[in-house]
Structure 1
Amino acid sequence: MDETRKIDLGAVGAWRHADTEPELAVALERLGYGTLWLGNVTDPDLTVVERLLDATETLVLATGIVNIWSNPADRVARSYRRIAERHPDRFLLGVGAGHPEATKQFVRPYQALNDYLDVLDEGGVPVARRALAALGPRVLRLAGDRTAAAHPYLVTPDHTREAREILGAGPILAPEQKVVLETDPVRVRTIGDATLGFYLNLTNYLGNLRRLGFDDTDFADGGSDRLFDALILHGEAARVAEGVRAHQKAGADHVALQLLHPADTDPLPGYRALAEALELGGAGAGAGF
C-alpha cells in the first residue's frame, strides 16, 4: 500500500446516495466506472463505505461528502485507517462544510475546514487519500494545498475550467454532473426539477452560480431553462457523453455522474447506456446482467 501515490479514480464515476446497495456497486464496477461517490454520508464509522468495498474488487469508493460539522474528525480518521488497511488504495475520503441552511454551527467554515484537516493529519489520513468539496476560489486553493482532489458539485464546464486554472496541473479535479436520460422535454423537467429545486434555496450554490453568470431570473420558479440546461445534461446517452467530454476538455480528471430518475425505477440501465456511450469498456457493458 503506497498512500503517497495519486489514487486512480478512472475517467468517469457514478455519484449515488449513501444507501446504495452492494449489488449496484458490483454492477457499476463491471460496467467500467472507476469510482462510486457516496453523497451525504452521516455515519462517522463509515460502515457503508466498508460494506461496498467488501462487495467489490477494484472499484474506488469516495465520500462526497462527509460533513465536518456532524462527523468528528478523530473518529472519521480512525474509520479511514480501519478501511484503508483492509482495502488499500481504494478509498478517497471526501469532506466538506456543506451549506449554512443545514447546520447551525456553520461559522467560519474556512477555518473549520483547516482545523478538521489538521485532525485528519494527526489521525494518519494521508493527503493523497482525501478530497475536499470546493466551489469558490479560496476553498479550491485549500483543496489543492491540503488534499489530493477537489470535488465541485452542481457546476458547469466553465466552472471546471476556472477550477483547473486555480488548482494548477497537480491536484485531481473531479466535478459532479447531473444527468437525465430522457428525450421528452416534460419528463426531463419533471425528473430534473425534483432535485434542482432543492439547491436553488442554498446560498453557497446560488453564490457560485452567480459567479458563473446566472442571476435571480434564473433562480425563480424552479430555475430557468438556461440554468437547467447548464446544470443537468439530458437527452440520449450519446448527447450526455458530449457534455461529459466538455468537462474533460475543460480540465476535469474525473467526472462523477449522478443519474436522476424516478424513485421507483432501476438506475442500472441508464448507467449501462452511459458506459457504452462513454466507451468505458467494462466487462458488463452491453450485457444483460
Structure 2
Amino acid sequence: MDEIPRKIALGAIGVWRHDRTEPELAVALEGLGYGTLWLGNVTDPDLTEAERLLDATDRLVVATGIVNIWSLPADRVARAYRRIAERHADRFLLGIGAGHPEATKEFVRPYEALNAYLDVLDAGGVPAARRALAALGPRVLRLAGDRTAAAHPYLVTPEHTRRARELLGAGPLLAPEQKVILEADPARARAIGDATLGLYLGLTNYVGNLRRLGFDDTDFADGGSDRLFDALIVHGDTGRVAEGVRAHLDAGADHVALQVLHAAGTDPLPAYRALAGALQPAGGQPGPGARLRAP
C-alpha cells in the first residue's frame, strides 16, 4: 500500500504571481522567509516553470494557482506532476480550478468537470494531499475539503475566509489570495489597483461571490466603489498590510498568498522585501496559522 504523503507545509505567508517568475526572484523570496510561491498564469501542461523554480530553491513550496481544467489535459498534467514529485514531492502543490465562464466556451457543469478532472489525477498518481482547488462557493469549497489538501479562494475578504473555515472544518488547509499595494496615499493606490480590480467586475463567478458577501450593483459600477476596493485590496504602509493579512489568519486561514500590485514597469521585489519584516511570525520562520509580529 502506498504511503500517504504528510500534509504540505505552505508557511503562513506566500507570494502570488501572475507574471512569469524568474528563478532569481524565487530565490530572493525564499531568502526573505516567504513559504510558498503561487504561479497564477499556468499555460504549460508540462509545468516546466514550476519545476525550474523548485530546482533553483531549497525550501520554497511552489503551487499552481491555477491549472485550468478546460485548457490543460489532466493526464498530461498528472505525468508532469509525477516527474516533478520524484525530486520535489514535499514542495509542489498542484492547484486546479474551473476558471470563469466568460473565458472558456466549454464552461458547462463545472462541478462535474472538476470531479472528472480529479478522477483522472487520482488514476494518474497525483495524491489528494498534493492537490489544491480554487474555490469560492460552498459546493466547491466542500469538494476541496473532500478531495484535495487545500482550498485556494481568489479575490475574497476575511469574511469569506471566516465562512470558508466554518464550512471546511479544522482539517483542510485554507489559503486565500490577498491583493496588496504598499502605498500610503489612497489616490495613488487606486491609480495602481483600479485596472486590476476592473478585470474581475465583469466575471460572474467573482461578482456572484461578492454579492454573497454583501456587495451590490453600486459597488460594481464605474470600476468599483471605494468600499469594494478597500475590502479587496489592502493598501497602506507595512503595518496596514500586516493588519489585512492578520485578518485572514484570525478568520481561519492557514496561509495567505500576497499578490503585490505595483506601478507598471517597476520591480515588485522591494515591496516584498519591505513587507517581509512586518509579516514575519514571532519566533522565526513562517508556519501555518502563526501569529504575526505587531508592526
Normalised by the shorter chain, which TM-score bucket? Answer: over 0.9
CA distance in 2, matches of 1:279, 1:112: 39
Q: Distance in 2 between matches of 1:170 and 1:277?
A: 28
Q: CA 1:101/1:57 → structure 2, altered by over 3 Å: closer, same or farther?
A: same
Corresponding position of 2:290:
none
**Which residue in 2 is equivalent to 1:179?**
180
Q: 1:247 and 1:56 mapped to 2: Cα distance?
A: 27
Distance 2:62 2:45 in 1: 15
Instruction: Please name the residue that 1:29 is paired with.
Output: 30
Deviation string 1:26-49 (CA, Å, 9 cap, x unpaired) is 000000000000002010000000
Aligned-partner SS, 2:105: coil
Deviations 1:188-215 (A, max 9, x none): 0011112000000100000000000000
Distance 1:173 1:132 in 2: 10
For residue 9 of structure 1, give the secondary structure of its aligned residue in structure 2: coil
Tell me the alpha carbon deviations over residues 43-84 of structure 1, each in whole angstroms, 9 at most, x when there is no partner. 000000001011111100000000000000000000000001
**Corresponding position of 2:79:** 78
SS at match of 1:124: coil
Given that residues 173 and 254 in structure 1 are in contact (C-alpha distance below 8 angstroms), is that contact kept between their aligned partners in structure 2? yes
When residues 90 and 250 of structure 1 are mapped into structure 2, their CA distance, relative to the original with a 3 A threshold, is: same
Give the corresponding residue for 1:135: 136
Give the superposition deviation at 1:184.
1.5
Residue 263 of structure 1 corresponds to 264
Q: Distance in 1 between matches of 2:19 and 2:144?
A: 23
Compute the displacement of 1:262 (Å). Answer: 1.6
- CA distance in 1 between counterparts of 2:5 and 2:86 reads 14
Which AA in structure 1 matches 2:187?
A: V
Counterpart of 1:200, as a letter, is L
1:263 deviation in Å? 2.5
Q: Secondary structure at the match of 1:43?
A: coil
| Structure 1 stretches lacking a partner, 5+ long | 283-289
**Number of residue equivalences:** 282
What is the aligned partner in structure 1 of residue 293 from structure 2? none
Extract unaligned runs of 5+ from structure 2: 286-295
TM-score scaled to structure 1, two decimals? 0.96
Runs ≥4 in structure 1, deviation > 4 angstroms?
Answer: none
Equivalent position of 2:154 in the other structure: 153
Deviation of 1:279 after TM superposition, in Å, equals 2.0
* Residue 4 of structure 1: how far off its partner (Å): 2.0
Deviations 1:143-181 (A, max 9, x none): 000000000000000000000011000000000000000
| Residues 186 and 235, structure 2, Cα contact 8 Å, conserved in 1 | no
14-23 or 144-153, which deviates more: 14-23
- Post-superposition offset of 1:186: 1.8
Matched, 1:58 2:59: yes
**Is the alpha carbon distance of 1:247 and 1:17 closer, same or farther for their aligned partners in structure 2, counting shifts above 3 Å?**
same
Deviation at 1:3? Answer: 5.0
Specify the SS of the correspondent of 2:6.
Answer: coil
Q: Which residue of 1 aligns with 2:214?
A: 213
* 1:5 aligned partner, one-letter code: R
The 1:18/1:68 distance shift into structure 2, 3 A limit, reads farther
**TM-score normalised over the length of structure 2:** 0.94
Give secondary structure in 2 for the equivalent of 1:258. Answer: strand
What do residues 221-279 of structure 1 show as CA deviations (whole Å, max 9, x unaligned)?
00000000000000001111011000000000000000000221111110011111112
Separation in 2, partners of 1:11, 1:199 = 26
Give the secondary-structure state (helix, strand or coil) at the position aligned to 1:92.
strand
Q: Give 2:68's aligned residue.
A: 67
Q: Is the 8 A contact 2:39 2:66 kept in 1?
A: yes
The code of the aligned residue for 1:188 comes to: A
Per the alignment, in what secondary structure is the counterpart of residue 37 of structure 2? strand
Partner of residue 111, structure 2: 110
Residue in 2 that maps onto 1:95: 96
Cα distance, 1:2 vs. partner? 6.3
